[in-house]
Chains A and B, each alone.
Chain A
Amino acid sequence: DIQMTQSPSTLSASVGDRVTITCRASQSISSWLAWYQQKPGKAPKLLIYKASSLESGVPSRFSGSGSGTEFTLTISSLQPDDFATYYCQQYNTRWTFGQGTKVEIK
């Protein structure tokens, strides 16, 4: 099974900050990686697919990069609506989620 490891688990940041979350796969997944945002009590929302493709309707301050085993999600200028938990997911071989990164207000 492919394991996905996110870092950090928690991130404290201020509005306007540039934020980067890292996701590592236990083996190569090419670019078959997605990022999701989840707010309390709500379903996850797709942000990025195929490592770097922005889902329709998602603000351009979100971007994804990487391939193989190392991936990043970047929020260029954190907005109040962005405080949430973020998950990476591989869909190269079956499906696995990372453990999540909670973005908190500093």
Chain B
Amino acid sequence: QVQLVESGGGVVQPGGSLRLSCAASGFTFSSYAIHWVRQAPGKGLEWVTFIRYDGSDKYYADSVKGRFTISRDNSKNTVYLQMNSLRAEDTAVYYCAKDRGAFDIWGQGTMVTVSS
């Protein structure tokens, strides 16, 4: 079935790095843009970053610009989120989502905790 599965979350110290993965199945991955959206504990949804279907365009929220990098490998049906210089305020569940205009398919999320 159509699904996205995130992995790579964990506990990291402030200033550290982490790489998240989002593996897709059940649809033509190379035809769709993908987003990352995060949700801090007890808070609302925050859009983080976008990558076009072919990787030609990428956008970032101001809160992560210069620290996070999104990429994709269409041969592996996977999107990556490289997170550097992590801060306590980056602590959140990170979701990847498929773009059909609105976000029609979401992964289950992966938790990232930035703490010393």
- A: residues with CB less than 8 A from B are 32, 34, 36, 38, 42-46, 49-50, 55, 87, 89, 91, 94-100
Contact = CB atoms under 8 A, between A and B. Distances in A.
A44 B102 contact: no
B45 A97 contact: yes
A49 B101 contact: yes
Interface residues of B, number: 18
Q: Is the interface of B mostly helix, strand, loop or mixed?
A: strand
A46 B35 contact: no
A91 B59 contact: no
B45 A49 contact: no
B93 to A, nearest CB: 9
Given A89-B103, A91-B101, A43 B95 contact: yes
A88 to B, nearest CB: 10
Contact of A45 (B47, B59, B100, B106): B106
Interface string B28-39: 000000010100
